[in-house]
Structures are given as structure tokens and as C-alpha cells.
Amino acid sequence: MSDTSPPNPETQSQTTPDADLRFADLGLAPDLLKGLDSIGFEKCTPIQAQTLPSTLQGKDVAGQAQTGTGKTAAFLIATIQKLLSTEARPERKAWDPRALIIAPTRELAIQIHKDFQDLGKSVDLKAVLVYGGTGIVTQREELQKGVDILIGTPGRVIDYFKQRVFSLKTLDVMVLDEADRMFDLGFIQDIRYLYSNMPPPGERLTLMFSATFSQRVLELAYEHMHDPKFMRIKTESVTAENIEQKIYFPSKEQKKPLLVHHLNQLNDNARVLVFVNTKHEGEHLGATLRANGFHAQVFSGDVRQSRRQSMLADFRSGKLPIMIATDVAARGLHVPDVTHVFNYDLPNNREDYVHRIGRTARAGASGHALSFGCDEYVMVLPEIEDYIGYKIPVQQELPELPEITIPEKARRKDKRSGRDGRGGRSERRGQEKRGQGSRGQGSRGPDKRNTDSRSSPYADRDQARPGSDDDNWRSDEHDDNDKEQQAAFHAERQELLRREKYQALEHKMRLRNRLPRKAPVEDSTAKKRSRFSTPPLKERDPDQSAL
């Protein structure tokens, strides 16, 4: 490891890996091979074939590959093999993890834990999943029962670490997934804090995976890894070849009708992800789609965890055909059979474009990605095209746009708040005054419009409108359970507070019982104080109350 400048990945391994490398040829533990066989893993993917020979020898590796290439399995296999082939440190306690895997989002952490359960079903290792938004007491109790591999998000891991639920001094493996995303979400100081409380580089196996090798990612690797090998998979294209990409250039007022037009063209089996840049935009878009007969829900960081999990389950099963997501879901979502991705807003950075459209065309399937380049976000398009290495095909003419219903409540809220598409105070007040508001049709548009009568699985074909009897496409499908969910949430919170208060009191009592009892000290000023103290109020005679 150089002590003058960060390592240069351009000078390290970028060769095409052995496409015929089998897991059976890597000398893996029999129980691990059994788990791989049970899920049909025989040959390594390119990122696995390039990283595993080094990581299995105990070398630190930083890997870069496009999404959906099997990098999760690459670091899980290396982690499991390391723990099976080496003894735990003698000073380790049962609740101290031997391996720590950090992911930037809850969904990605949940998916990593699920992949471990598939890969490690035959090994005698326990993985515990921790993340914010739910079950702080339950997760702590699970940790205290014992853990080998701790998988979680930075905030919750640090919470438990500062509460001394576990120690990192006996850690053998550290894995950081989506390192570039940690910078984007502001977690990097938390990551550095965790690194500073681990054994030094060279005394642990450190793995890092990132979509890009930016300068800040290289510096992080240089600071906290021991002579890392940078491995980059050469591909013909940054994006998958089986994704059909198109871009339109509509005005802001045309985006919602254009999206409705394309949704009306889809068949019964379509599964759609619509990406927006802000939760504010997502809420308004969701309200508009529901008002026009589509069953759509908004998946953002503000949705509580139990609702997010039920929403994902419905989307995976097909009960929810349209999910509107902010970039919190751009990475880490593993949903099979997504047929269409719509970039309702172009992303603010080029890497997110690749991750967004990477939600479709997984495992060799084909997919479609349509982007709307409105004037607010189109300035990032040259960077995106430079990054992916080609021009996105442009649809020169817009199709005939349907008339749509704009919810009155959403229009009033926009007009009152005066906010722009980024969720802050609008910097485009002049445009809003000219009728080019930040949402929908602006103040010039009519309050109500007729819905499109074109036949589609989403719109009028079965008259599946909010309030109808069609349970699959009703926009208020989950609303009936809101009160019950809120009541359950408040009950869980009250129980949590009660248990926390009880534990604090119990700790105080235990501490008090340990201290030696002291003889009471006579207070010489007690009598003096009593002379100046206020005498107790005498009980008033009821007969004198009228006086």
C-alpha cells in the first residue's frame, strides 16, 4: 500500500475473467458448496470469477461491476469461507460479530440477508439483520442471543455499537456495499467511525464494492484497506444490452398525460417502476394516477417500514402493478419481471440512471426504459450519455396525449406551497405566474378533465376506478387498514418506551444495590429551614367557604 497517493485502479486488474470458472474449483467448504448447489449456482459470474480467487486468499479487494452481476454472492461467499476456515479470536464474546456487512438502504440490507439465508442454509453461522424504522428492542435482543455476521444500515449499527451491545475489536471481515452511495446519502462519516473501531487494516479482510471508482471512493479504500486490489469488469456497455431505451422531451405540463398514454398501452402482465427525484413529486404523481384509475403507490424513505415491506410484497406478487419510487429504491431493489422503467424525472447524477434502468431486464430478460427530459432536469442528459457511451434514441414527436383528471387537492396544495420539483421554495416563480407551475397543468389548466377511454389493463377496460369493487386495481386497496396500522404502530411505540423506561430503572436499581450504604448525615440546617418554610394549608371549614 502506497503511502503517498491513492492506488490507481486503471493500472490494476481489468482483464476479462474466466467465464468457465466453477465454484467447485475454488476449494470452498463442503457446507458452502452444498448451499450453492441447492440454489443452482455452478459457474461464477464475471465479478465472482475475478474477485473470489483473491478474496479467498485473504487479500483486500475493491470491485466494480454494473448492477445485477452477482457481486452480493461474491462477497457473501468470501465472507462465509473466511469464517469457516479460521478460528474466532479468543477474546470474542458471543454477541460480538465476526463479520460486518454495511449497506446504504434498508431494502439492500434486507436483500443481502435473504441471499445469505439461501447461500448459507447449510453452514453453522448466524446472521442478524438490523436497520432503522422498526424493532429496536427486538433487534437488540436478537443480537444479544449471539451473532456471527451482522448485516445492517449505518445508523442502526452505530446506535447499537454506541450502546455497547457489541464490540468490533474481534472483527474478521468488513464488507462495504455501494460505497459511492454512502457518500451520496451522507453516511461516510459514520463509515469512517466504524472503521476506526475495528482491528487495523491487515488484521481483517476488507471488501468494498462500488458502482464507480470516484476519487473519494479511492481515498476511502486507501485509508482503510490493506494493499487493495481494484477489479473492474470490462463490458461493451455500462447498461444491459437487452434494455430498449427511449427519451421524450415534453414540457412539465405534458409529462403526466404522456405517462398516462404509455401506461394505457401496457398489457395485463406489465410491472412498472416510475422514478421521480423527490417525494413531493411522487405524492402528486401518485394522486394523479389514482385519480385516473391506475393502482399506484409511492415508495419513498418517509413511508414507514411495515408499509414499505407490504408494498414491496404486493409489487413482487403483481397485486401492485405500478410503483412510484424515489432514488432510495434505485439501488437494492431486487424485483423480478419488471417490464418497464419510466424516468419521470431524469436523475440528478449519471450513475443513478444506470441503476434505475437496471431494475428491468434482469437475468437475461428484456425490458423497456423511457425517460422524460423536461427543462428542469434535461441538463444532466449529456453526462448520462457520456457515461453510458452512446446517445439515447430520441422520440421526435409526442403521441396524441389523453385528457386526464388532475386532483383538485393536489392542485391547491401546489398553489399554496409554491414549491418547485426539488421540494424547496420555487426559484421559478416567473414561470409559475405564467401558468408553468411546478406541478401538473398549472393555474391555466381546467380543474377537471375527462379520463381516457382507451382499453388497457390499468384504465377503463374493467371500470376499475377508485371506489369500485375491483380489489386488484382499487387505488384505495390499502387505505382500509391505515387506522389499524397506525394503532398498531402507536401501540408498539408505547410498548417500546415502556420497556426502555423499565430497563433504565432496573439498571439504576442494580447500580444502587452495588454501592455501599452510607449512614444518613444529620442536616444541621433542617430546623433553620423549617422556621422559614411555608406552613401546610389548613383544611377550610365548609361553613366558612361562603365568607
Residue 446 lies in a domain: yes
Examine the fold and report which residue of 232, 267, 299 is the final residue of a domain before the chain moves on. 232
- The pLDDT tens digits of the residues spanning 39-56 come to 889 999 888 999 999 999
Among 306-310, 476-480, 504-508, where is mean pLDDT lowest? 476-480
Residue 451 lies in a domain: yes
423: containing domain:
243-478
Q: Which long-range contacts (CB under 8 A, 24 or more apart) does 36-42 make?
A: 36/77, 36/119, 38/118, 38/121, 38/122, 39/118, 39/119, 41/73
pLDDT of 233 strictly over 80: no
Q: Are residues 273 and 347 in the same domain?
A: yes
Q: Are residues 187 and 259 in the same domain?
A: no
Residue 303 lies in a domain: yes
Whole-number percent of the chain with pLDDT over 70: 68
Number of compact structural domains in the chain: 2
Q: Find where cell 442528459 sits.
A: 381
449: CATH: 3.40.50.300
Supply the pLDDT for residue 528.
47
Residue 499 lies in a domain: no
Residue 527 lies in a domain: no
Among 260-264, 378-382, 410-414, where is mean pLDDT lowest? 410-414
Q: What is the DSSP letter of 272?
A: E
- The pLDDT tens digits of the residues spanning 262-288 come to 999 998 889 999 999 998 999 999 999
pLDDT of 142 strictly over 90: yes
List Cα–Cα distances, 515 to 15, 323, 501, 510, in angstroms: 66, 58, 22, 9
DSSP string, 30-90: HHHHHHHHHTT--B--HHHHHHHHHHTTT--EEEE--TTSSHHHHHHHHHHHHHHHSPPPT
- The pLDDT tens digits of the residues spanning 491-543 come to 667 667 777 766 776 666 666 665 554 455 454 444 444 444 455 555 555 55
Examine the fold and report which residue of 446, 478, 510 is the final residue of a domain before the chain moves on. 478
Q: Are residues 192 and 45 in the same domain?
A: yes
Supply the pLDDT for residue 102.
97
Q: Are residues 225 and 338 in the same domain?
A: no
461 pLDDT band, cuts 50/70/90, is very low
Residue 398 lies in a domain: yes
Nearest to 224 by CA among 57, 109, 74, 60: 60
Q: Find where cell 417502476 sits.
A: 273
The pTM for the full model equals: 0.63
Examine the fold and report which residue of 197, 232, 267 is the final residue of a domain before the chain moves on. 232
Residue 380 lies in a domain: yes
Q: Are residues 300 and 400 in the same domain?
A: yes
